[in-house]
Structure 1
Amino acid sequence: MVEILFASLFVLMVLGLPVAFAMAISVFVAIGLGSSYPQIVVVKEMFSGLDSFPLLAVPFFILAAEIMTGGAITHTLLRFASQFVGHLRGGLGYANVISSTMFAGISGSALADAAGPGAMMIKMMEKGGYDRAYAGALTISSAVIGPIIPPSIVMIIYALQDEAVSVGSLFMAGVIPGLLLGLGNLVANGVVSWKRDYRSDAPRPDRAEMLRTTVKALPALGLIVLIVGGIRGGIFTPTEASVMAVFYALFCGMVIYRALHWRDLPGIILRAALISAAVLLILGAARAFAWVLVIEGLPQFLAQTIISWDLSPIVFLLAVNLLMLIFGLFMDPLPGVMILVPILAPISHALGIAPDHFAIVVIVNLTLGLTTPPVGSLIFVVSSAANLKPAALVREMPPFFLANLIVLMLLTFVPLLSTWLPRISGY
């Protein structure tokens, strides 16, 4: 049945079906042709995959990000980031990375990051004399930070697949890796901007203007403190934090910034509902796909085989890096987490690898897949937003992919970068 499952998935994805439909249909085909199970069991497993209280955080974080984008908060964060570095050589590129890092603490999604502040930064960079394809490539790379810095939708899904970690510990574990990815992108932008002489004619704002912009940005930055501080302080769970984020975003947009109106809410809610439905459909299909693998004994077989090889932890992590990078070429992070984590996480625990360390390596790996063809979703989102051919964006990606890859290797070889913050936070 496993052979039928993977063959069907490969054919359907080559035909261009969305990942969720390709996985669901391949499960129906495998069950119908390779087993005596009734087809209704596929539907049952899909619903079982969504029957989880922590999953409620996903649509609420998506809604909070949409409200923040519609309430002029994204523009406020862009101005806040630009005032410090916009006048430097490569300054608008730096502002792109910094704003993505800040928005990552709001959205939890790479695609939301690229479609929101990323699209605005591409226009700003083009007006500032940057090549549009370069601005798009930098936006793609910096959007990777979105699922790493808390809140993170991918981390919520990961915690449901591995009982050795919690959402709170993963949120803490992602802070330093996310900042390192931002630093890597800043360095790559600096090198390219120096070679191409990307300069800005914008003068540095005076202190009074910088103070006004900073004060205006404080309520937007407060959402990050609310989410991380509330979870760390035990005030509320990650799911409750997502609901608080929605109400805080409404308060900021309507009361503080006064850029959000009641008439805007139906459109915002509709966009958030469509994104949430797409995410949950992927999760349901991935649960059914993983169920077939489990009943066929594939995870147990692979675990026993790999353990029998007596690999050292570092060799195993390097092998996982290679596997995940290849897997990410063809599949998005969410189904990747649901399919691969139940197989690989128990092996990593048996080898003595810290659960938070392994989780960050997996999540960063799969998220980098969003930046690589042929299925990299970020490439197509930015291509649409910037009105560019995907090939033009891919040609500009090597410096940024190299920077992200160096950070990934650093995270692989230095577990403390992922485990220190959760440990001192009490997880």
Structure 2
Amino acid sequence: MITTLFIAAVVLMAIGMPIAFSLGMAAALSVFVGGKYPQAIVFKEMFTGIDSFPLMAVPFFILAAEIMSGGALTLVLLRFASQFVGHLRGGLGHANILSLTLFSGISGSALADAAGPGSMMVKMMDKAGYSRAYAAALTASTAIVGPIIPPSIIMIIYALQDESVSVGGLFIAGFAPGILIAVAMAIVNWRVCVKRDYRSREPRPTMREILVNSFKAIPALMLVVLILVGIRFGIFTPTEASVVAVFYALICGKFVYRTLEWSALPSIIARSAFLTASVLFVVAASGAFAWVLTINGLPQQLANLIISWDLSPIAFLIAVNIFLLLFGIFMEPLPGVMILVPILAPISAALGIDPIHFAMVVIVNLTLGMITPPVGGLLFVTSVATKVPLSALTRELPPFLVAHAIVLMMLTFIPAISTWLPHTLGF
């Protein structure tokens, strides 16, 4: 069954079939070839994979992000970010990084960040004299903070696979790595702008403009604070926090920014439903795929094999990094978490590695796969949204990939980056 499972999955993905269909059909085919279980077990396991109360947070966080975007949030955050860094050397690049980092605290999705504020910033950078391919590469490289800074869909999925961590703890843990990635992107942007002499044409804003733009941005920025404070002090669960986020987004869009029209809600809800269905279908198919692995004892066999190597915690983390970087080239983060975390998390726990530390290493690692060719989904979305050829975008990536690798090594060897804040707050 295992051989059939992997061969079918690889072949189906190689011919261009979507990840969810590839995993689901591979699971069904392996069950059929094995002959021990009825085909209905695949559908049962797919349903079981999404039959979870915490997963209800996914559609509500997606809906909240769509409502906030429909309520002119993108323009508000762009103005807020540009006023602080827009007038500096490479200022529009820095504004791109800052706006995507701020927007990630609303969307939780790298793809939404790249297609929304990211594509708008690419147009602005192009008009200001930046290379359009460079602007697109900067956008794609920065957008991966979307799943790292809370709220994050991938963190919700991870917490379902590893009971030793909580959604709230992972949300808090994502702040420092997300900011570290943004700083690394800003350093690369500064170096490139100095080398290519990209100068800012943005005027320095007046104090009055800064105060006005900052005041307008406060309601949008408070959404993340509301979610984290509510979860930390037990006012509501992460799932309940997602519902609160929806109502908060409605109030901001309709009554604070006054740009959200009731007539736009049906299309917003439909778009959110489509995104939710695509995410949960991947989770369901990954659940069936992981079930086939489990009933054939592969996780236990791999765990025993790795334990028999008697690796130190550091050696194990290095091995995991290499494996996940290779795995992430060909697999999206969500199915990667569903399939690999039940295998790797117990081993890391047995080696005494902090579960929050290990979770952030896995999440950042798999997220990097979104910008690594040939499969990197974020590259394709950015290429389409910005109308930049994929080949040109890819040529601009190396400096950013090097910066990401340095950040990943820092997360690996300095656990406090991801654990200090959640432990300090009691997670």
TM-score by length of 1: 0.99
Q: Which deviates more from structure 2 when the two are superposed, residues 336-345 or residues 167-176?
A: 167-176
For 1:183, the equivalent position in structure 2 comes to 183
Report the residue type matching 1:399 in the other structure. Answer: P
Letter paired with 1:247: F
The residue that corresponds to 2:212 in the other structure is: 212
Tell me the amino acid that sits aligned with residue 252 of structure 1: C
CA RMSD between the two structures: 0.7
Separation in 1, partners of 2:23, 2:290: 10
Tell me what 1:232 maps to. Answer: 232
How far did 1:129 drift? 1.1
Q: Runs of 4+ in structure 1 displaced over 2 angstroms? A: none
CA distance in 1, matches of 2:237, 2:110: 23
Question: Aligned partners of 2:271, 2:402: CA distance in 1, in Å?
Answer: 34
Partner residue, 1:102: 102
Q: Does 1:275 align with 2:306?
A: no
CA positional deviation for 1:374: 1.5
The 5-angstrom pairing of residues 45-60 of structure 1 reads 45-60=45-60
Task: Indicate the residue corresponding to 2:397 in structure 1.
Answer: 397
| CA distance in structure 2 between the aligned counterparts of 1:138 and 1:46, rounded to whole angstroms | 37
Greater Cα shift, 362-371 or 228-237: 228-237
C-alpha deviation, 1:202, in angstroms:
1.6
Distance 1:24 1:242 in 2: 28
The percentage of counterpart residues that share the same residue type is 65
| Secondary structure of the corresponding residue to residue 276 of structure 1 | helix
Question: Which residue does the alignment assign to 2:303?
Answer: 303
1:119 corresponding residue in structure 2? 119
Q: Distance in 2 between matches of 1:201 and 1:388?
A: 23
Q: Which residue of 2 aligns with 1:330?
A: 330
- Within 5 Å, give how 1:259-274 maps onto structure 2: 259-274=259-274
Measure the CA separation in 1 of the matches of 2:238 and 2:197.
Answer: 44
SS in 1 for 2:290: helix
1:133 corresponds in structure 2 to 133
Unaligned runs of 5+ in 2: none
Q: Deviations over 1:372-400 (max 9, x none)?
A: 11111110111111112211111111111
The one-letter amino acid of 1:330's match is F
Residue in 2 that maps onto 1:412: 412
Deviations 1:247-266 (A, max 9, x none): 11111111111111011111
What CA deviation, in whole Å up to 9, does each residue of 1:396-421 have, x standing for no partner? 11111111110000000001111111
Which residue matches 2:292?
292
SS class of match (1:116): helix
* 1:17 shift after superposition: 0.3
Matched ranges for 1:366-405 at <5 A: 366-405=366-405
2-side partners of 1:361 and 1:199: how far apart?
A: 36
Within a 5 Å distance, the mapping from 1:326-365 to structure 2 comes to 326-365=326-365
> Within 5 A, what are the aligned runs for 1:48-87?
48-87=48-87
Give, as a single letter, the amino acid of the residue that structure 2 aligns with 1:58. Answer: V
Distance 1:205 1:247 in 2: 33
Structure 1: tracts of 5 or more residues without a match: none
Deviations 1:315-361 (A, max 9, x none): 10000000100011011100000000000000000000000000000
Other structure's SS at 2:341 match: helix
Amino acid at match of 1:29: L
**C-alpha distance in 2, partners of 1:35/1:182?**
50
**Partner SS for 1:163:** coil
- 1:247 maps onto 2:247 in alignment: yes
What letter is aligned with 2:314? I
Q: How far apart in 1 are the matches of 2:70 and 2:248?
A: 14
Shift, 1:123, TM fit: 1.0
Deviation, structure 1 residue 35: 3.0
CA deviation digits over 1:38-70, x for unaligned, max 9?
000000000000000000010111111111111
Q: Distance in 2 between matches of 1:397 and 1:37?
A: 46
- Give 3-state SS (helix, strand or coil) of 2:330's partner: coil
Letter aligned with residue 315 of structure 2 = V
CA distance in 2, matches of 1:125, 1:247: 34
CA distance in 1, matches of 2:237, 2:125: 39
Q: Which amino acid aligns with 2:145?
A: I
Instruction: Note the C-alpha offset of 1:34.
Output: 2.1
Query: Which residue of the partner structure matches residue 163 of structure 2?
Result: 163
CA distance in 1, matches of 2:176, 2:191: 23
Task: Find the aligned partners of 1:72 and 1:386 in 2 and give their Cα distance.
Answer: 20
Q: How many residues align?
A: 427
